[in-house]
Amino acid sequence: MANLKEVKERINSVVSTQQITKAMKMVAAAKLRRAQDKIIQMRPYSQKLTAILNNVSSENEGSEDLIYADKREINNVLIVPITSDKGLCGAFNSNIIKATMASINTEYTDQHITVMPLGKKAYDVFRKKDFPSVTEFYDIFSDVSFDRARAAAEFAMNGFTNGKFDKVILVYNEFKNVATQIVRNEQFLPMEGAAEEKDTNATNIDYIMEPSREYIVKELVPKSLKIQFYKAILESNASEHGARMTAMDKATDNAGELLKDLRLMYNRTRQAAITNEILEIVAGAEALESSN
């Protein structure tokens, strides 16, 4: 059995750890509120913009304005795994890494893969792999903004239009709630919405457009793609804070359970030590009496 000093040191260590996890949970909760507000506000705008774009572009399918919907033989694929910069958020990052590697090893075994990691955790993993990497945007979460997301999106979009990439995939965590994040493997380019919407949408709206339908489509398509890219980043950002809040909450609870066990062990060790001292005193007293 451990001595009292060792048990006391372990108790102090667990108490300190519990205080840290409580503080991290509170910080994550505060950040989650802001991140959640952003993604909740973004979703309706993104969905409406996409719906308008699909409605408008369905009549222009095959034109030069829909260059981002150009489907060709898939030889070069850009995969964008979106993780966090920090750990202590459960399986948040490992799920993205696993999903990315699973996609590479099953769907794109015959294609040339390029990885554009967003987030330091993805960057740390894929820089050690044999895939070519685009590392200019890995620190995007140091300051989450539309301007930084737009730069990363434009890189992917330009690579697609000039033929460097035939397909662009986003792998990220979609925010469902604090305890649930859903891994999404989403095709960013070529666009798929226009053709599908034409077949499935039964309530097409006849928009009046100025100066022309072609000009509107040409302006809306790049903007919609950048919004979609930014939305994936916001989803991942909110998911990260939710995952960290949940992980720190569980860590705090586990520390509490461990403290109960350690304090019980401390009391038992203390009682055993006191009992031994009493026995030694009694034995000493009996020895003195017998000697007299």
Residue of 69, 77, 89, 169 with catalytic role: 89
The per-residue DSSP string of 204-269 comes to ------SS-HHHHHHHHHHHHHHHHHHHHHHHHHHHHHHHHHHHHHHHHHHHHHHHHHHHHHHHHH
Please state the φ and ψ torsions of residue 147, each to the nearest 5 degrees. Answer: -60, -45
What residue spans of the chain are helical by DSSP H? 4-57, 92-106, 120-126, 146-161, 193-200, 213-291
Q: Please list the residues that pair with 80 across neighbouring strands.
A: 170
Active site residue 89: yes
Residue 239, C-beta contacts closer than 8 angstroms, at least 6 positions apart? 92, 172, 173, 174, 175, 181
Q: Are 131 and 113 in contact (CB under 8 A)?
A: yes
Active site residues: 89
